[in-house]
Structure 1
Amino acid sequence: MAPLSDRPVLDHLVIDVRDRMAAGAARLAALGFQLTPMGRHSLGSANHLAVLAEDYLELLGTDVPGGALRPDIASYPIGMNGLVFRTADAEALSARLVARGVPALPAQSFHRPVELPDGGREDARFRTVRMDRAAAFDGRLYWCEHLTPQHVWRPEWQRHPNGAQSIARVLLAVRDPERQAAMVRRIHGEAAVTIAPDGRARLPCGPVLVEFAPHAAVAAELGAAAPDPAGRGDHLVLVSLRVRDLAATAAVLRAAGIAAETVPGGLRVAAESTLNVAVDFTT
């Protein structure tokens, strides 16, 4: 059977902040990100985006302190819990996934009003296909079809004080990388993922590398910079971002009083200093 797609494309990553939206936004701003105005989904959640060249980070939760969370995100702790790929046709994707025995849910449509920089107001509209949680990891794996990409990727929102340009790498800590690899192969074909000598499964997504690594390998790489699992077994632990100039990024972090460790290829901010996700900056 032909692979579903020859080239998986990362769309965005979701960082849950639960009912601490204001504090979460302030923390990302301190890390040097420019955030979009708060959006409110028709599904009942609120968000801010840090929009990059081809992808983005999303803060997701509620803007009501102590308020109820959307049922599908209510169980997740603060931290990075959403791994989102791009699709051009959510309805067709859902049907093709199910035909391949992938436990995908029917496509879901929703929208959110967007306050544009020129003072206008438009609706950003989406269709998503989610994988059953039990088949993925302790988080949400889904695909997003952007019906109005012009209301997300705007040049005014893509300029960040820290110089962030794009997502370079995503790291998950998992108990069985081969299980994750089997799931990816079912979707994208045998050649989509490789297994490294230390056991991690590697999924290239164009310029982004997604790695499903054994817990021991993650502990060896991140040490004290790793996030609190907060009850999660297989979970997202790190995002690496390409920046224009590491020295300029370091200056932004110093000005905000955020400690950064020098690591091969760049800088690392520990999860305890962010939103329970380790953040690397690289060039």
Structure 2
Amino acid sequence: MRRRRRPGSLRGGRADAMAPILDHLVLDVRDRMAAGAARLAALGFQLTPMGKHSLGSANHLAVLAEDYLELLGTDIPGGALRPDIAAYPVGLNGLVFKTGDARALAGDLVARGVPALPAHEFHRPVDLPDGARDEARFRTTRLDRAAAFDGRIYWCEHLTPQHVWRKEWQAHPNGALSVARVLVAARDPERQAAMFRRMFGEDAVRAGEDGRVLLPCGPAVVEVAPHALVQAELGAAAPDPAGRGDHMVLVALRVSDLAATAALLRAQGIAPDARPGGLRVAAEPALNATLDFLA
């Protein structure tokens, strides 16, 4: 599959201006992989077969047109978790941007005062349609945990994108096409905005209403809003913070046919709340994240 040049790739021997483009979101499920996968399937997502990383974790993906959702944890009930994810509860904890060169990006970020960690590479086996086996390989650079909200921010360089964005994995019964919105609850949105500006440049961040901060990421937008506004919007549909302070609470996805999505959810015994232009599914224990479906 031919891919366009990704942000962070080299141009003229150095990392280019890093316009933020969302790569994927991580839903941590800890040792509850089966429950998380069952819930996403009930919500109408087709999941990839379980993958096992060289880092020691396991995952399933819901692959969309240009981004995806990742269930991340261990496939062993009660099993040990990867050290860098062990502290996070079930829920949305990973915000991941695209890069074409993680190593160059790490150096560029550090040079601009962004506390990025050195790039590292890992892989997982993948079965190919012809029955052969290969490896999906990745190189990432992460933001130091202390510099972000209570979650992980990192950039992912896909060394084998053809092993992720496969057409047979991109057709979802719920009609999901792409991530449209990511909502982060924060005590001080401007603190996160300041880091986004250092990461992506002054012009990358926009001011929203009522103290909200907006980071457009291609077809998606990351919205950082004060806790009170998030509570007012989500109410009982909000996830359990589970000890987190500033944290990701909601992902909204565009779908091809909202009425068909609603019918599928009802057939699964899920009663979404109708909202202008969309549907909302309240957070529950298997995923601990609020999901919106948008026309």
The residue identity in structure 2 corresponding to 1:41 is H
- CA distances 1:8-67 after superposition (whole Å, capped 9, x unpaired): 100000000000111111110000000000000000000000000000000000000000
**In the alignment, what sits opposite 1:8?**
20
The residue identity in structure 2 corresponding to 1:116 is L
- After TM superposition, list the pairs within 5 Å mapping 1:142-157 onto structure 2: 142-157=154-169
Task: Say if 2:280 is the partner of 1:244.
Answer: no
State how far apart, in whole Å, the 2-side matches of 1:118 and 1:19 are.
32
**In the alignment, what sits opposite 1:22?**
34
CA contact (8 A) 1:226 1:277 kept: yes
Pairwise CA distance, 1:265: 1.4
TM-score after normalising by structure 2: 0.93
Unaligned segments of structure 1, at least 5 residues: none
**In the alignment, what sits opposite 2:135?**
123
- After TM superposition, list the pairs within 5 Å mapping 1:197-236 onto structure 2: 197-236=209-248
- After TM superposition, list the pairs within 5 Å mapping 1:75-86 onto structure 2: 75-86=87-98
Among residues 48, 54, 64, which one is paired with 2:76 in the alignment?
Answer: 64
Pairwise CA distance, 1:120: 2.5
Alignment RMSD = 1.2
Equivalent position SS for 1:74: coil
State how far apart, in whole Å, the 2-side matches of 1:43 and 1:280 are.
31
State how far apart, in whole Å, the 1-side matches of 2:86 and 2:286 are.
20
Pairwise CA distance, 1:72: 0.4
State how far apart, in whole Å, the 2-side matches of 1:279 and 1:117 are.
31
Task: Say if 2:213 is the partner of 1:194.
Answer: no
TM-score after normalising by structure 1: 0.97
Pairwise CA distance, 1:197: 2.6
**In the alignment, what sits opposite 1:264?**
276
Pairwise CA distance, 1:4: 6.0
State how far apart, in whole Å, the 1-side matches of 2:202 and 2:140 are.
25
- After TM superposition, list the pairs within 5 Å mapping 1:84-103 onto structure 2: 84-103=96-115
Unaligned segments of structure 2, at least 5 residues: 1-14
Instruction: Sort the Cα spacing of 1:157 and 1:92 in 2 relative to 1 into closer, same or farther, 3 A.
Output: same
State how far apart, in whole Å, the 1-side matches of 2:270 and 2:112 are.
46
Equivalent position SS for 2:265: helix
CA contact (8 A) 2:32 2:286 kept: no
How many residues are paired up? Answer: 281
Equivalent position SS for 1:141: strand
Among residues 172, 186, 192, which one is paired with 2:184 in the alignment?
Answer: 172
CA contact (8 A) 2:25 2:70 kept: yes
Instruction: Sort the Cα spacing of 1:210 and 1:87 in 2 relative to 1 into closer, same or farther, 3 A.
Output: same
Task: Say if 2:90 is the partner of 1:47.
Answer: no
State how far apart, in whole Å, the 2-side matches of 1:202 and 1:266 are.
20
* Deviating 4+ runs (over 3 angstroms): none
**In the alignment, what sits opposite 2:144?**
132
